[in-house]
Structure 1
Amino acid sequence: MESSDPSALALLTDRFADARAVSLVEPTAPQSGLEPGDVVLGLGVELDQVPALLTAAAGAAAAGVLLRRPARAATAAGIERQATELGVELGWLPPGVAWNDLHRHLVQRLTPPALAPDDELGDLAQTIATLTGGLVTIEDTSARVLAYSRSSDEVDELRRLSILGRSGPPEYLALLREWGIYDRLAASEEVVEIAEHPESGVRRRLAVGIFAGTRQLGTIWVQQGADDFGPHAAQALLGAARITAVQLASQRARSDGRPGDTGLAALLGGGTAPSRLGRVARRPCVVAVFELAGTGPEHGPAADRLRRDELTAIVTVHAAAYRRNALVEQLDGRVYALLPAVDSVSSAIAMLGRAVTAAGLHLDATARGAVGGLADSLAQATRSRREADLALEAADDAAVVSFEATRPRLVAALLEKAFADRPELRDRRFDDLVRTDPDGARTVLAYLDTGSDVARVAAALHVHPTTVRYRLRKVADTVGLDLDDADTRLSAHVHLRCGLRAAASGA
């Protein structure tokens, strides 16, 4: 068995550091399927096929060709001359280096995925790899690789050969057919688990079909790496399949001259619902909002935009797993998700929690999320968006909140603001109470906060219940406070909240 020479590998891979991707030619037709910028591995290419391969590489503007050096020096020299004449960068597989080791080092060095670096499918492949903790490959129904995530030392033979040669080991693929894996993937959105197969050098996998309606567009495969899959890997994979279906359909639409647009910005601005939502537009929905803490000028606009893009990708996957027709878009520096056909806000809260947790694990920032109230239909989505924004602003340190949970706090804040904006309404008796008897003021406020529960007030203030009652009587006599009157209780509550908060802040 061949053994790797690290120094020889490093020198060789450095020569092709600017290549776009790694490509493995078909031994039966080595001159076909070459792409611009590829570094071509001539694994299995016969000597009489080399001239055609070099000519094809020159015509395709490949980054270079790597071959095993022939035993005869004259033959090697002839190949080198032809490569020079054609302008093809030629490299020889170093002695003692295996093709698999060479491929692994090239993949680690080059910038994946095989598609352009800014390609949406490539970005999605990397996002789902991050969320699942595995190595992702997106294929069409002909098993042609459309995109894949960055590889590592844990890549197995099935993944390596699929990326290189557009197909895996024939024996293993036959087993997948025998086990009915392809049939299951073609039948529904079921996430299928495939056990490790040591005989073929294949690790455990998760897979899911990509569907547009009942039509299968492709498959996503996730190979397990050094660690087990994440706890929500299957759900993230389902969301990824639905997003991939939208992207594939959008690419096809763009190729037909039809632009793709989620329509969420227009909808939340008071416009009409996208027509593709169909009947779900008349069902209840909610709007969720997400933002990252720690963004701002000190980080730079480029860094902030990159992190928001990554947050958008994470939210998109989780939202699609939760609702097929979910829409996600960046607006005003935040990420919004429209969740249609929702029966209760509580079910959406769990999705928000998973998305925020995933963002916190994978981004260099703390994420927060909030969800608005349930809207009767998409026509009222703007109201749910306003509620989500208000809830996020009132969330304090909570990672995930709902508008319903923050409504009392929001109402209290509104009353305090209205009170502060109308100074003529201030009752100076309460200002004097806060200044001259802060213990009495805090006792009354706690009494109002707890619904007149003397025992809870005593426990909170660490005093005897008798002391609480004494302070309440003293304040009632000093201020002339009738705590049995509802309007007086409300006025006292607002006055004391504002007064004690201002005193604590030194205002």
Structure 2
Amino acid sequence: MDDTPGAPAHDGRARLGPLLAALTVPVTVAVLGTEATETAVTEVIVTGPGEDLDAVPGALVLAAGARGAAAVRAVTEAGRAGAAAVVLKADPAGLPAPVLAAAREAAVPVLTVTQDERWYRLAEDVRAALSRASRSATAPGTTGDLFSLAQTLATITRGVVSVEDAAGHVLAYSRSQDEADELRRLTVLGRACPEPYLKRLREQGVFQRLRSGEEVVEVPEQPDLGYRRRLVTGIAAGHRPLGTIWLQEGARPLAPNAPEALRGAARLAAPQLVDHYHQGDPSARVASRAELAHGLLTGRFDAGALAGHLGLDPSQGATVVAVDLRDPERSDAPAADLRRGEAAGIVSVHAAAFRRDALVTQACGQIYVMLPARNGDADDPAVHRWAGELVTVLRRQSGTPVQAALAGTARRLDAVPEVKARGHQALRLMARTPERAVATHTELQASLVLCDVLRLLDEHPGTRHAGLAALVAHDAEAGSDLARSLLAYLDGFGDVARTAETLTIHPNTLRYRVRKAVSISGIDLGDPDQRLVAMLQLRLAVHGRQGPAAPFPVPPATPGPTVPA
């Protein structure tokens, strides 16, 4: 039996025991009957003192304001209505004896939280845990993923997020800590926006503006109601409204890019809300764009067929941007996967805000963005600026030297895997210059060509200059550094002073090493062919096929190398 926190029951619902273990709000068990931990929980509802309950099988009942006789009645009502459990507030001494007796008589589990705990926070916590449990039992792309999207948007914007369907029912929300205002609390507890506030929004024309397109509408602070400033935008499929995303300002001002991020999140939420409206019909589920994008990026499926699912023309091109978080090499794998998943969510929001049809997926431990365009260009200044802004956000969020490579533009969608491979190779080159945030394929082209040449040379070991092979063997036997010194001298275009400084040795020492290396290898540095062969073969021997430690050297303006006197 699966006892992982929040694990679903056999019918896809969460079991009470694992669900309680998955909560972040401390909940104490006061009365728990036999087999109660296996009870399926389907929802959480909040009741007031003296409130009657209809049949609510599988509900976790939060009995707000229930004390004394009201607590006894709440427990009795929960048992009669078939609730999975009831939650009360309790003093450190525990619940009174009459409440415990009522729980045993009603045969309903009773749980407690501290007196200072807030009901809306517990409701948030339970619903998020139920969503995680549901998501683990269903295909990806369902509304459970809206919780992840809401949390990602909250992280980007420094706000408090909620997602509602077209009827105003709350589908998902971010963790709010203590930054939620009274409207947020009422909305979460009631699963819908209070009618007085809806009336004010209608009077202000907010909903009419939301139906007009992708406008981000600002709703000013409402001091008389205790409501903070908000931004809201609509979620739509074509011209059909599907819902809204609300962004409440918390303890800090919203980030400057909050409107763009909100618009991007709305575009990502649209297919998930389509799933929501087709809930219960697996044949109508919209495959997640990440799944389809991965197939396009890797070439695992026919690009023409995927293009149809993505609403793209297979003959159009796509610019590919590769992103690496640069996690520490010894990073714990599950933790690294989690960080990369969170980062992919941030990338998705930014990409959707930049280009409606942007595709984001993960592969080879990296994150890839595909920007479909008929006449796309990876060297487009707008794409370069966007990639730079994205890297800035990711570096601030992850604390690692994130880098992005503008890998190039595939002229047709079926050529995307080839461009992806260039992006992967470009990121490997950029790893040696962590201060470089973004690089284009054009900027890296010479280094990438060199990598290909070195790969071919490595694959044909019979193609070697015997004298240079003897030099490398001499270093291995004598423990000397002649080959590396000669390569540095050639890379430095014969500038003895600068090369010696780079190697942290005296110029005379470098001159001696170069003369000795020439003597052992028999290389004539006055012959350009021999210099080129020496640079390639020694680079493969000293640095491997990935090239030099600094793939972007700036050579000094000096004549070509000669044997130093």
Which TM-score band (shorter chain)?
Answer: 0.7 to 0.9
1:377 equivalenced with 2:412 (yes/no): yes
Q: Which one is further off, 339-348 or 152-161?
A: 339-348
Alpha-carbon shift at residue 340 of structure 1 (Å): 1.3
- Residues in 2 aligned to 1:83 and 1:439: alpha-carbon distance in whole angstroms: 83
Q: 2:428 aligns with which of 361, 377, 393?
A: 393
Alpha-carbon shift at residue 158 of structure 1 (Å): 0.8
Query: Aligned residue for 1:340?
Result: 372
Query: Aligned residue for 1:330?
Result: 362
Aligned length: 465
Change (3 A) 1:39 1:181: same
Contact 1:113–1:150 (CA under 8 A) maintained in structure 2: no
Query: Aligned residue for 1:402?
Result: 440
Query: Aligned residue for 2:61?
Result: 39
1:241 equivalenced with 2:266 (yes/no): yes
Q: 1:87 aligns with which of 107, 111, 116?
A: 107
Gaps of 5+ in 1: 1-10, 69-75, 449-453
Query: Aligned residue for 2:556?
Result: none
Query: Aligned residue for 1:232?
Result: 257
Change (3 A) 1:428 1:92: closer
SS in 1 for 2:128: coil
Deviations 1:372-402 (A, max 9, x none): 2111121221222121122122221244433
Q: 2:299 aligns with which of 242, 256, 269?
A: 269
Query: Aligned residue for 2:286?
Result: 260
Q: For residue 309 of structure 1, what is the amino acid of its counterpart? A: G
Alpha-carbon shift at residue 108 of structure 1 (Å): 7.9
- Residues in 1 aligned to 2:170 and 2:322: alpha-carbon distance in whole angstroms: 34
SS in 1 for 2:492: helix
Change (3 A) 1:116 1:386: closer
Q: For residue 280 of structure 2, what is the amino acid of its counterpart? A: S
SS in 1 for 2:430: coil
Q: 1:425 aligns with which of 447, 457, 464?
A: 464
Change (3 A) 1:198 1:151: same
Query: Aligned residue for 1:494?
Result: 536
Alpha-carbon shift at residue 496 of structure 1 (Å): 6.1
Alpha-carbon shift at residue 196 of structure 1 (Å): 1.8
Alpha-carbon shift at residue 317 of structure 1 (Å): 2.0
Alpha-carbon shift at residue 403 of structure 1 (Å): 2.8
1:342-491 matched pairs, under 5 angstroms = 343-345=376-378, 346=380, 347-363=382-398, 367-396=402-431, 397=434, 398-420=436-458, 421-422=460-461, 424-426=463-465, 428=467, 442-447=488-493, 480-482=524-526, 487=529, 490-491=532-533
Alpha-carbon shift at residue 428 of structure 1 (Å): 2.8
Query: Aligned residue for 1:3?
Result: none
Gaps of 5+ in 2: 1-24, 32-36, 91-95, 136-143, 476-480, 550-565
- Residues in 1 aligned to 2:364 and 2:266: alpha-carbon distance in whole angstroms: 28
- Residues in 2 aligned to 1:179 and 1:28: alpha-carbon distance in whole angstroms: 37
Contact 1:24–1:43 (CA under 8 A) maintained in structure 2: no
Alpha-carbon shift at residue 168 of structure 1 (Å): 3.9
Contact 1:104–1:153 (CA under 8 A) maintained in structure 2: no
Change (3 A) 1:81 1:497: closer
1:139 equivalenced with 2:164 (yes/no): yes
Q: 1:61 aligns with which of 83, 86, 98?
A: 83
- Residues in 2 aligned to 1:93 and 1:428: alpha-carbon distance in whole angstroms: 79
Q: For residue 232 of structure 1, what is the amino acid of its counterpart? A: N
Query: Aligned residue for 1:278?
Result: 311
Q: For residue 467 of structure 2, what is the amino acid of its counterpart? A: R
Q: For residue 63 of structure 1, what is the amino acid of its counterpart? A: A
Change (3 A) 1:44 1:111: closer
User: Normalised by the size of structure 1, how large is the TM-score?
Assistant: 0.74
- Residues in 2 aligned to 1:289 and 1:356: alpha-carbon distance in whole angstroms: 11
Change (3 A) 1:256 1:22: closer
Change (3 A) 1:445 1:489: same
Q: 1:121 aligns with which of 146, 161, 171?
A: 146
Query: Aligned residue for 2:177?
Result: 152
Q: For residue 266 of structure 1, what is the amino acid of its counterpart? A: G
Alpha-carbon shift at residue 209 of structure 1 (Å): 0.8
Q: 2:214 aligns with which of 185, 189, 195?
A: 189
Change (3 A) 1:500 1:307: closer
Deviations 1:92-114 (A, max 9, x none): 999xx79xx63256358757367
Alignment RMSD = 4.7
- Residues in 2 aligned to 1:285 and 1:415: alpha-carbon distance in whole angstroms: 27
Deviations 1:263-305 (A, max 9, x none): 23332325223313334443220233334434677624x3343
Q: For residue 293 of structure 1, what is the amino acid of its counterpart? A: R
Contact 1:22–1:164 (CA under 8 A) maintained in structure 2: no
SS in 1 for 2:408: coil
Please identify which structure carries the higher helix content: 1
How many percent of aligned residue pairs carry the same amino acid?
31
- Residues in 2 aligned to 1:440 and 1:291: alpha-carbon distance in whole angstroms: 33
